[in-house]
Amino acid sequence: MLRVGIVGASGYTGGELARILALHPAVELTVATSRSHAGKRLSQGYPHLAGIVDIVCEDLQGSELADRADLFFTAVPHQTAMAIVPELLQAGKKVIDLSADFRLDDPVVYEAWYQPHTAQEYLAEAVYGLPEINREKIAAARLVANPGCYPTSIILALAPLLKNGLLDPATIIADSKSGTSGAGRSAQVGSLFCEVTDGFRAYKVGEHRHTPEIEQELAKLAGSQLTVSFTPHLLPISRGILSTIYGALTKEVDQQELYELCTAFYRDEKFVRICRPGNFPATQYVRGSNYCDIGSKVDTRTGRVVLVSVIDNLVKGAAGQAVQNMNIVSGFAESLGLDTVPLFP
Amino acid sequence: MLRVGIVGASGYTGGELARILALHPAVELTVATSRSHAGKRLSQGYPHLAGIVDIVCEDLQGSELADRADLFFTAVPHQTAMAIVPELLQAGKKVIDLSADFRLDDPVVYEAWYQPHTAQEYLAEAVYGLPEINREKIAAARLVANPGCYPTSIILALAPLLKNGLLDPATIIADSKSGTSGAGRSAQVGSLFCEVTDGFRAYKVGEHRHTPEIEQELAKLAGSQLTVSFTPHLLPISRGILSTIYGALTKEVDQQELYELCTAFYRDEKFVRICRPGNFPATQYVRGSNYCDIGSKVDTRTGRVVLVSVIDNLVKGAAGQAVQNMNIVSGFAESLGLDTVPLFP
Amino acid sequence: MLRVGIVGASGYTGGELARILALHPAVELTVATSRSHAGKRLSQGYPHLAGIVDIVCEDLQGSELADRADLFFTAVPHQTAMAIVPELLQAGKKVIDLSADFRLDDPVVYEAWYQPHTAQEYLAEAVYGLPEINREKIAAARLVANPGCYPTSIILALAPLLKNGLLDPATIIADSKSGTSGAGRSAQVGSLFCEVTDGFRAYKVGEHRHTPEIEQELAKLAGSQLTVSFTPHLLPISRGILSTIYGALTKEVDQQELYELCTAFYRDEKFVRICRPGNFPATQYVRGSNYCDIGSKVDTRTGRVVLVSVIDNLVKGAAGQAVQNMNIVSGFAESLGLDTVPLFP
Amino acid sequence: MLRVGIVGASGYTGGELARILALHPAVELTVATSRSHAGKRLSQGYPHLAGIVDIVCEDLQGSELADRADLFFTAVPHQTAMAIVPELLQAGKKVIDLSADFRLDDPVVYEAWYQPHTAQEYLAEAVYGLPEINREKIAAARLVANPGCYPTSIILALAPLLKNGLLDPATIIADSKSGTSGAGRSAQVGSLFCEVTDGFRAYKVGEHRHTPEIEQELAKLAGSQLTVSFTPHLLPISRGILSTIYGALTKEVDQQELYELCTAFYRDEKFVRICRPGNFPATQYVRGSNYCDIGSKVDTRTGRVVLVSVIDNLVKGAAGQAVQNMNIVSGFAESLGLDTVPLFP
C-alpha cells in the first residue's frame, strides 16, 4: 500500500481527495493536515465521510510531515504551496501539487499574474499534469503540477484541433462557467447561498489567473504564441464546469470529419468522451466522475467552430486528475480508484 | 381605462403579463384566452395570483375576441400568432405580438428559419418593439413585434458600440445563458426539475431561431450586413438571461471612455443601467424588473471588448417590454406599471 | 412625507426594507445606518437597488441618529436593539423593532432563552406587532415588536382554531422549514451555497429561540399555558417559510366547516389567503409579497388537523410586516406600499 | 456472474439501478426493458451512462423476458408490476419488486389505497425487504417487496424506540420531505424546473399511499395497531428524503441513553449511521449512497422525542436497497457494489 498524505484536507479539494482515496485499493491515507481542523476528525467537518474517513487532522510541517507518507497531495492556496513543496521533495517524496505555483514555465509570467515566486528552481522539473497530453513526462516526474479546472476543460477540447492546425490561434475565445465549489470553502459573502442561487454572473472578466496557464499550454499545442479571451462565470450549482469555445477554422471541415478527428485523437483515453454530432454535453452527466465530455459544432455560416466541454471541477478539474496523476507516477493502472459512474440526477 | 386582453394567458409569459397588468393604473384586463384553461380562473393555474387576478380564461377567436378589448397582447407560439393577429388588426385593435412572427423584415429569412409565413402583408408595417432604439416608430404603430429575449439582451449591449463604429461587425460572438422559464410551461422531460437543477448545458448551438433576428437588428445599427455566432445555454434558474458578447475593437478606447459612451447613449433611458468600470451585472439584480444592466471590459491584451448584459427574460425579455410598448402606443408614461424594484435575494 | 430611518441597513432585512420603502408613496428614507457599509451607497452592497435607493450608509447613534427621522426600523440583532431603541423612544420617535428584544412579555423567559435584558422597563408598553391579531393595540403604540418569521407563520395558522377551542393545546407540533435568507448576510461556512444547495437539514431541534415567542402568543389565543414542539429546518431556497402544524381536534369538524371558519376569521384581512379544501400553499406563490397563505386538512383517521402555512420570511416574516405596522401606527392605509403581486415563477 | 435484468429501465429508478449495477463485481446486466426507449441504447436517454452502460432497451414480456436473466428488478409503477412479477416467479426467477404491489400484507388494505389486486396469491410469500429488520426472511425469499422511500426513512428511525417500548404508538407524526426525483421522469407540469425550484410545498396531506405501509411495519415493531399522521413535502433538490418524526415518550430517557440505544440497535449495520448527540443529519451527506443517517432529540419540555433521518431516495429508498436485497437473496456480501462514498458538496 502506498502511503499518501493530504496537505490542506479541510477545503473542498481536500475533502474530495479523501472521498476518492477512501475507495482506492492501492493506497492508504496516513496523514491529513489542516490548521483550522487540527485535532478534529476530518469527518466532523465533512459528515458525509463519517465512518469512512475518520482520520484526525493535524497541523504538521517539515520532516514531521514528510515522514508520514510517500506521496503528498498539496491542496493549499498558491503561495502557500511553494513554501511546502520543496521540503517534501528534498525529503525524497513525490508531490502532486494542486495549486498554481508550479504550472507556469516562466517565473516572469507567474509573477505578473500572481506574486513573487520563491521556489523558481523547481519550475523546470515540474510537469504539467494533464495525462491525456503529457502522460510520459508525468510518469517520470517527482513533482506534478496538477492543472487548473478551467484550463483542463479548455485544453482538452482544443487539443485535437490545434494539433491538426484547424484553428486560427489568434481567434480563440473561451467562455467558461463554473460551479461554486470552485470558490472554495472559505466564509465570504459572495459565496453565500442567497447571493448565488437563482442567479448568474461573470467575474474577473479578462483578468482571471488561469489565463496565462491556458495560453501557455495552447501555445505548445498550436506551435505558436497566442492570446485568449477568457471569461469565467459563476453557476448556481456545486460542481461542474462548462466551457464554450470559439475559433475561426483555417480550412473547411464538416461535422462528421471533426467528430472523427476528435474520436481518433482520444481513442485510447478512458476519461474523455466525444459526443456524437448533434449532441452536446451537460455538467450533470459528469457529476462526481473524472470524465471530460466534449461536443462540437462546425458553423459554416460564420466559419467558426464551437466546442463545448464539461468536467466536474472537483474531480477531473482537481482531485480526480490528481489521483490519475498519482496512479501514473506510481505505476498503477491509470484509472484505479476512478471507475465511478457519474451521479445523475 | 384601456381595455386590454391577453391571448394565451396560461403560459409563463401570459401569467407574467397578468402579474404586471394587475398593478397598472391605466388598464383593465377584460379578457384572457387559453384553450387548456378555458372555464377556469387564471389563478387556479397560477395560485400566486389568487385574489388578485381571478379572471376566468376563455377560448375565444375572431370578432368575439376582438370586441372584448382595445389592445391585445398575443402571447402564443409563432405560427399560431400569424393566424390571430390579422383579425385583431382588421377589427381596428392594436396588437403587441410576443411571438416571432412579425419580427423579421424579410419573409424569405423567416421561412428559412421557421415555416411558411401566411401573413406577410403585415410585415412591412410591424415595428420591432425595442423602445430604446425604435421609440418613435413604436409610438405610431398598430402592430408591435415584441423582441425576443436573447436579442433584447444582445442588441441593447451592442448598440452604443455599433452606432459609434467601435466594433468590427465580422467578429461578434454572443454567448448567452437563459433561465428555464424561457422554455415555457409545457410538460416535457427536458424541462423537468431533475434534468435541469445542479446542471448546465448548451443547446441549439449555431442553430437557434433568434439568430436571424439578432443579425437583422445589429446590421441596422452597424450599417452593414453581418453574421453572429450565437450560442444559447440553459441555466438552472427560473428567470434571467445573461449574454457575454465579444467583438474586436476597430480603434483604441479605454475603459472609462467606453463607460462614458454607454452612459451617454442611454442617458435618458429609465430601464438601462450601465455598471461602473470594474463592475459586472448579475441576473439576480434585475429579477422581476424591466431593467437591462450592462457591464463592459476593454481587453487590451486581445484587442477585444467584452460586454455582459442581463435582463429578466420574462420582463424586459417579454411581458415587461410588451407593457412598455403598450405604454408607448397608448400615450401613457413609458414606465407606468413597471416601477418595480428587483427582488433580491 | 413621513421621514423614516433604517438602523442596520446592510443585512437582508435592511435591504428588504429599503426595497419596499422605495415605492411607498407616503414615506421618505432619510437615514440608513450600517457599521460595515458606512460611507458607501447602500446600492454598492445591493446592486439591485442601483438608481433606486442610492442613499449613503452612515454610522450614527444617539441624538444624531434620532434627529434624522420620525420613525425608525431597527433591523439589528437582538441585544444590539435593546441598546438603541430606548434612546429613540426618549427622543420622541416611534420604533418598529425587528429584533427579538421586545417580543417576550416576561424578562425571565427572555433571559432564559437569550441573555440579560437591559431595557426591561420598555417591555410592558411594547406591542406584539401581528396586525391580524393586535391591530388596535398597534395603532396606539410607539414601540412595536415586529414578530419573528417562524412565529408569524405558525400563529396565523393556528389562531382561528385556538380562538374557537378546536384544538387540544397540549398536542401542538410545528414543523417549520425556512429559506436561507433567514440566516442573514453574515459570512459563515454553514450558509455557503455549496453547503446548502441540493440539501436539507433540521437545526436547533427543540432549542430554537422562537419557541417561547410562539408559546406566549398561542397561549393568549388558547386562553391557557401550553408548550409546543417546534423544529426548524433549512431549505435550499432564498425566501419562504412553510410551517406544517399538527394538533388533536377537541371536537368533530369537517373539512368544509374548517375552511369556512378560517375564511370567516380572516374575512377582512388583505394579507391572509385561505386555500380552498384540497389545496395547499407553496412558498413560491407568496414570494416577494406580504401574503400568508393557509391550507388545512382534517384527518379523521388520526383525529388530528394538519395546517400548512407559507409566508415570505423577508416580507410578512420581517420587512413587509414592519411596513404594515408602520402604516398602522402612522394612520396610513394598512396596505400602502405593500400591494405587490407575488413573483412566480 | 449472476445475470440480472431491469424491467422498466428508463425511469429514474431504472437508471439508478443501471448506475449501481455497472460497478457490481458479481452481476451482469443482461436485459433492460422499456417501452418508450425500446431499440435505443439506455445511454441515449441517460448520457451519464455513455460508454458505461450502453445496453439497448427492449420491449419484452413473458418467457422471452424470463429467459434473459436469473434475477429481475421490476422498476415499474404499481399495478403494472403485479402483471409481470407472477410470470417471472413461475419461470423460476427471483424478483426484487420496487413497486408497491407486494408490500402490504392485507389485500383489503391495498385495495382501499390503490386499486384491485390481481396477484393476491403472492402476497403471503412476499418479504418486506428492509434488510436491517428482515434480513433472515429476505435471504430465503424468491419475491422481495422493496420498501417505499418514505417508509424506509421512517421505519429505520423508529425501530429502536418502538422495539424498546419507548414511544406511545398513538402519538406518532412523520413529517417527511422528498427530493423531486421521487416524482419520476414523466413529463408533467408539476415537476417542471420552474414549478419546483426556489419553492416548497406539502402534497397529498393525510392521503399519501405510503401511509398504510408505514403503519403496517410500525405496528409489527410496536406489537400493536396504530395510525400515523404522515405529511409528504416536495423539496427543490433531486435526491434525498428527510423525515422529522415526533412521538410521546412512555418513560424518561436522556439524550445519551437514547443515543446508546440506537447505536446498539444498529451496531452491525453497515448502512445506518447514528449521529452523536447534538448532531443531526442532512440529505447532502448521504447523496448517492446507501446510508441512512439518524439523529435524535429528547425534548424534556414537551415529553416528546424528535427523530430526524435521511436517505437518498433513489439509493437506500429504491435502487440501492434493491441491490442490497439482491445481495442477500444471492448470498453475496450484503454491501457488495454499494461501497460508495456520499457525494458532497
Q: How far apart (Å, rounded) are the C-alpha atoms in residues C79 and C145?
A: 14
Q: Give the up-direction half-sphere exposure of residue B89: CA atoms within 13 A in the CB hemisphere.
A: 20
Residue C260 to residues C253, C256, C295, Cα–Cα distance (Å): 11, 6, 12
Taking the CA of residue C175 and the nearest CA in chain D, the distance in Å comes to 7
Contact A282 D47 (CB under 8 A): yes
Per the DSSP assignment, residues forming a β-bridge with C6 are C32, C73
Neighbouring chains of A at 3+ CB pairs under 8 Å are B, C, D
Tell me the ipTM for this assembly: 0.97
Residue A148 to residues A18, A245, A268, A317, D246, Cα–Cα distance (Å): 19, 17, 23, 6, 48
Q: Give the up-direction half-sphere exposure of residue A72: CA atoms within 13 A in the CB hemisphere.
A: 33
Q: How far apart (Å, rounded) are the C-alpha atoms in residues A160 and A155?
A: 9
| Residue C334 forms part of a structural domain | no
| Residue B10 forms part of a structural domain | yes
Q: How far apart (Å, rounded) are the C-alpha atoms in residues A68 and A65?
A: 6
User: Is the domain of A214 the same as that of A287?
Assistant: yes
Q: For chain B, which ranges sit under pLDDT 50? A: none
- Which residue in C has a C-alpha nearest to residue A238's C-alpha? C194
Q: Are A231 and B177 in contact (CB under 8 A)?
A: no
Task: Using CB atoms, pick whichever of A187, A198, A237 lies closest to residue C192.
Answer: A187
CB neighbour list of residue B10: distance below 8 Å, 6 or more residues apart: B34, B36, B37, B42, B45, B57, B185
Task: Using CB atoms, pick whichever of A50, A281, A339 lies closest to residue D23.
Answer: A339
Phi, psi of C94 (to 5 degrees): -95, 150
CB neighbour list of residue D148: distance below 8 Å, 6 or more residues apart: D100, D103, D210, D213, D317
Size of interface A-B (CB pairs under 8 A): 144
**Mean pLDDT throughout A200-207?**
98
Q: For chain C, which ranges sit under pLDDT 50? A: none
| Residue C44 forms part of a structural domain | yes
Show the domain range for C22.
2-125
Contact D201 C237 (CB under 8 A): no
Which residue, among A225, C283, B328, has the nearest Cα to D195 in the 3D structure? Answer: C283
Taking the CA of residue D341 and the nearest CA in chain A, the distance in Å comes to 6
User: Is the domain of B197 the same as that of B303?
Assistant: yes
Task: Using CB atoms, pick whichever of D186, D192, D238 lies closest to residue B198.
Answer: D238
Whole-model pTM: value is: 0.98
Query: Is B278 buried (19+), middle (13-18) or exposed (0-12) by CB count in 10 A?
Result: exposed
* CA–centroid distance for B39 within its chain: 29
Contacts of C344 in chain B (CB under 8 A): 15, 19, 46, 48
Q: Are B19 and B288 in contact (CB under 8 A)?
A: no
Contact B191 D193 (CB under 8 A): yes
Q: How far apart (Å, rounded) are the C-alpha atoms in residues D169 and D223?
A: 9
* CA end-to-end distance (rounded Å), chain D: 35
| Residue C130 forms part of a structural domain | no
Contact A181 C191 (CB under 8 A): no
| Residue B344 forms part of a structural domain | no
pLDDT of D104 reads: 98
Q: How far apart (Å, rounded) are the C-alpha atoms in residues D313 and D238?
A: 9
Question: Would you call D162 helix, strand, or coil by DSSP?
Answer: helix
Q: Are B337 and B21 in contact (CB under 8 A)?
A: yes
User: Could you say which of D68, D92, D125 is where a domain stops?
Assistant: D125
pLDDT band at A96 (very low <50, low <70, confident <90, very high): very high
pLDDT of C53 reads: 97
Radius of gyration (Cα) for chain B, nearest Å?
A: 20
Select the residue from B44, B191, B193 to test the D interface by mutation, using most D Cβ atoms within 10 A: B193
User: Is the domain of B80 the same as that of B158?
Assistant: no
How many structural domains comprise chain A? 2
CB neighbour list of residue D14: distance below 8 Å, 6 or more residues apart: D6, D8, D32, D34, D73, D75
| Residue A233 forms part of a structural domain | yes
Q: What CATH code is carried by the domain that includes residue B154?
A: 3.30.360.10
User: Is the domain of C45 the same as that of C157?
Assistant: no
Contacts of A193 in chain C (CB under 8 A): 180, 191-193, 195-197, 236, 238
Look at strands A71-74 and A2-7 and give their pairing: parallel
User: Is the domain of A165 the same as that of A41?
Assistant: no
Contacts of B281 in chain A (CB under 8 A): 201
Question: Would you call A126 helix, strand, or coil by DSSP?
Answer: coil
Contact C282 B47 (CB under 8 A): yes
Contact C279 B340 (CB under 8 A): no
| Residue D337 forms part of a structural domain | no
CB neighbour list of residue C75: distance below 8 Å, 6 or more residues apart: C6, C7, C8, C9, C11, C13, C14, C17, C98, C99, C318, C319
User: Is the domain of A105 the same as that of A155?
Assistant: no
Q: How far apart (Å, rounded) are the C-alpha atoms in residues D339 and A24?
A: 11
Q: For chain D, which ranges sit under pLDDT 70? A: none
Q: How far apart (Å, rounded) are the C-alpha atoms in residues C249 and C164?
A: 11
User: Is the domain of B155 the same as that of B260?
Assistant: yes
* CA–centroid distance for B246 within its chain: 21
CB neighbour list of residue B17: distance below 8 Å, 6 or more residues apart: B6, B9, B73, B75, B319, B322, B323
Number of H helices, E strands in chain C: 11, 13
Q: Please give the grid coordinates belonging to residue D339.
A: 461501497
Contacts of A109 in chain B (CB under 8 A): none
Which residue, among B240, D179, D276, has the nearest Cα to A44 in the 3D structure? Answer: D276
A194 belongs to the catalytic site: no
Q: Are D12 and B194 in contact (CB under 8 A)?
A: yes
User: Is the domain of D167 the same as that of D294?
Assistant: yes
Residues on chain D bordering chain A, Cβ-to-Cβ distance under 8 angstroms: 12, 15, 19, 22-23, 46-53, 181, 197-198, 238-239, 273, 275, 279, 281-282, 284-289, 293, 339-345
The 3-class secondary structure across A155-220, one letter per residue, is HHHHHHHHHCCCECHHHCEEEEEECHHHHCCCCCHHHEHHHHCCCCEECCCCCCCCHHHHHHHHHH
User: Is the domain of C162 the same as that of C232?
Assistant: yes
User: Could you say which of C108, C125, C142 is where a domain stops?
Assistant: C125
CB neighbour list of residue A340: distance below 8 Å, 6 or more residues apart: A288, A289, A290, D23, D340
pLDDT tens-digit profile of D43-83?
Answer: 999 999 999 999 999 999 999 999 999 999 999 999 999 99
User: Is the domain of A161 the same as that of A308?
Assistant: yes
| Residue D29 forms part of a structural domain | yes
Contacts of D238 in chain B (CB under 8 A): 193-194, 197-198
Q: How far apart (Å, rounded) are the C-alpha atoms in residues A185 and A11?
A: 6
Report, as residue numbers or ranges, the catalytic residues of B: 149
pLDDT tens-digit profile of A132-169?
Answer: 999 999 999 999 999 999 999 999 999 999 999 999 99
Which residue, among C49, C28, C37, has the nearest Cα to C9 in the 3D structure? Answer: C37
Phi, psi of C158 (to 5 degrees): -85, -20
Q: Are B180 and B217 in contact (CB under 8 A)?
A: no
Q: Please give the grid coordinates belonging to residue C76.
A: 439589528
Contacts of C288 in chain B (CB under 8 A): 288, 343
Contact B246 A233 (CB under 8 A): no
Which residue, among B309, B317, B316, has the nearest Cα to B338 in the 3D structure? Answer: B316
Residue B210 to residues B149, B183, B196, B309, D263, Cα–Cα distance (Å): 9, 14, 22, 17, 60
User: Is the domain of C89 the same as that of C221?
Assistant: no
Residues on chain B bordering chain C, Cβ-to-Cβ distance under 8 angstroms: 12, 15, 19, 22-23, 46-53, 181, 197-198, 238-239, 273, 279, 281-282, 284-289, 293, 339-345
Residue D345 to residues A38, A54, A107, C101, C194, Cα–Cα distance (Å): 21, 18, 34, 37, 6
Look at strands A127-128 and A94-97 and give their pairing: unpaired
Q: Are A139 and A329 in contact (CB under 8 A)?
A: yes
Q: Are D41 and D56 in contact (CB under 8 A)?
A: yes
User: Is the domain of C120 the same as that of C163?
Assistant: no
Task: Using CB atoms, pick whichever of D201, D238, D282 lies closest to residue C282.
Answer: D201
Q: Are A151 and A221 in contact (CB under 8 A)?
A: no
Q: What CATH code is carried by the domain that includes residue D27?
A: 3.40.50.720
pLDDT of D94 reads: 98
Look at strands A229-234 and A292-299 and give their pairing: unpaired
Contacts of A12 in chain C (CB under 8 A): 194
